[in-house]
Structure 1
Amino acid sequence: MQTIVTKLEIAKVKSFAVRRKDWRVSLEGTRESEKGPLTIAAEVFELTPSLVVVEVKMKAGNREEYEDFCERELKPGMQHLVHHTASVPDIPSDTE
């Protein structure tokens, strides 16, 4: 989990002020836009020792700028932490 939080803190290089409390990280953009600075909240949840979930959400700012940050910075920076599984075959439901 520490690796994930450290990756999120790297955002300060990308014009974000970073605040951290336990497993929560708040990223606040230092650039002003029409809708104010982009503010992003991220929280890390440990489901099992080897499985964590990172919840990232925009709290304020421009949606396009948020999506651009996620696609260009956040996802590539965490790609090596993602576990890919083989596709699961379709299992028929009880209603079929």
Structure 2
Amino acid sequence: MATIENDASLDAAFFDGMTDEELVAQDLVQQGAIHAVSFLLEHGCTEGTATDMLLSLRELADRIRAEAAKRGKTLLFETDQTVTGRAARREGGA
């Protein structure tokens, strides 16, 4: 199972050991996070805005998983990568 690295202190040696595909995946994750945080800063970081964003992202993730299953493809993540706590409890997931 894949993991999302969330540690700004990682040194260059960590990335040297990644495959090209892992490096691209890390870039996608980072750019998605940068976009999401910049959107919140631009439009106001309210609980409602963040909840709407999370719901939209999770719906799209479900559609992507359904399409991958239809094609017989395996994705990096079988479930959404949420932080356990308040948001996960509210959504009924983990």
Output the TM-score relative to the length of structure 2.
Answer: 0.27
Point out the structure with the larger helix share: 2
Task: Give the number of the structure with larger relative contact order, counting CA–CA contacts within 8 Å between residues 6 or more apart.
Answer: 2
Please identify the structure whose Cα radius of gyration is greater.
1
Output the TM-score relative to the length of structure 1.
Answer: 0.27
